[in-house]
Every structure is written in C-alpha cells, then in structure tokens.
Amino acid sequence: MNKYLPGILAMATIVVASNILVQFLYGDWLTWGAFTYPFAFLVTDVMNRVYGKAAARQVVYAGFVVGVICSLIGTQIVGEFGPLVTFRIACASGIAFLAAQLVDVRIFDALRRGPWWSAPLASTLVGSTLDTALFFSIAFAAQLTFLEPGNDVGWANEVLPLLGTGPEAPLWVSLAVADWCVKVGIALLALVPFRVLVTKISRRPV
C-alpha cells in the first residue's frame, strides 16, 4: 500500500485543488479548475502503467472519497447565490469522476501492450469526454431538473451562440465544450510528463 501513497496523495491534491479553483472564473467559459482536474487522468494512467489496473482503481477510489468530502463541505458553505455546491453538482461531480476514471483504467489496460502513447492518450480522451458529458448534463440540463427541483438552473439553459460565435445552444453546452477542449489539450501535453514519470518510477523506458 505504501508504494501507492504518492499516487493517492497526488490524486487527492488534484481533487481538492480543482474543487477550490472551480469557484474562480477564467474568461467567459472556464474556471481555473478546468486546468487542474484533467491531471487526475495523468495520475491514474501513471499508476496503471507502473503498478497495474488494481493500483489505479485504488487511487481512483481514494480520489472519489476526497471528492465526496469536498462536496459535503461545499454544501455547507453559503455564497452569494446559495450553497457553493448544490445536490445536482455534487451528484454530477461524483458520478462523472468515478465513471470516467474507471473507464480510463479499463481502456488503458486493454491497450497497454500497444505503442507507449496509445493507452494514455486513448483512455484519457474517452474518459475526458465521458466526464464532461456526464458532469455538465447531470448538473445543468433542463431535462434533469427533477433531480433537484428547488435548484434554479435557468441561467445555465439560457440560449446563446455556442462559445459566443457558433450556433445557438444552452449556455451549459458552451461551458462543456470549452471544458472538453481544455481536457483534450492537456491530454496531449500530459504525454510528456507521463513518459518521464513512468520511466523514473519504474526505472526503465516506457
């Protein structure tokens, strides 16, 4: 268990940092948390490559527990417009994280014998796409208002040009697209630290 501790601590740090930074906007479509959360996939993939899928799952479960704790704390902190974390956002965050990370683990394991870059890239792209789709739809889609009738998400469903210039769509769709684009960009950039970390930890080339 001790050899997994750095991965668990790294995942916990990313989850906590992302839960804090998501409260601060970066431009019109993103929060600062969008730039830290994608590195959770890097941690999962490094653990998977070095120690195997069972170790990666342990790190994912640890991150999930930390995320739940952060959400519970957030529901008790009241901001200008109510609790910082609503029931829908808490559910969306937990479901999206767990589903996306476990899918990442499975895809990575299936591709681990391919070229060194194929497993981390494919698993992260699929996991990131699933994470974005689940989180934003569960948290903000008007069709799921029944999850928390008292939570007004009308602001997120205001119809505007996609990312300010494209076809008209609910605001949450623009937020999701922007978030997904950041995840894709970081997935590509993370291949470099992935290879460096795996080589350093395992003491052999990827």
In SS3 terms, the chain reads as CHHHHHHHHHHHHHHHHHHHHCCCEECCCEECHHHHCCHHHHHHHHHHHHHCHHHHHHHHHHHHHHHHHHHHHHHCCEECCEECCCHHHHHHHHHHHHHHHHHHHHHHHHHCCCCCCHHHHHHHHHHHHHHHHHHHHHHHCHHHHHHCCCCCCHHHHCEEEHHHCCCEEEHHHHHHHHHHHHHHHHHHHCHHHHHHHHHHHHCCCC
User: Is 156 contained in some domain?
Assistant: no
Which domain does 100 fall in, by range? 2-129+186-202
* 75, pLDDT greater than 90: no
In a domain, 139, yes or no: no
Taking only the tens place, the pLDDT of each residue in 13-72 is: 999 999 999 989 999 999 999 999 999 999 999 999 999 999 999 999 999 999 999 988
Q: For residue 203, is pLDDT > 90?
A: no
Question: How many independent structural domains does the chain possess?
Answer: 1
Predicted confidence band at 80 (pLDDT cuts at 50, 70, 90)? low
Convert the pLDDT of each residue in 159-180 to its tens digit: 999 999 989 999 999 999 999 9
In a domain, 140, yes or no: no
Kindly report whether the global pTM for this prediction surpasses the value 0.85: yes
Q: Could you tell me if 104 and 41 are in contact, meaning their C-beta atoms sit under 8 angstroms apart?
A: yes
Instruction: Tell whether 149 is covered by a domain.
Output: no
Is 135 contained in some domain?
Answer: no
Question: How far from chain centre, in Å, is Cα 186?
Answer: 12
Q: Is residue 166 included in any domain, yes or no?
A: no
Question: For residue 105, is it within any domain?
Answer: yes
Retrieve residue 18's tokens.
């992302």
pLDDT higher than threshold 60 for residue 1: no
The answer to whether residue 120 is domain-embedded is yes
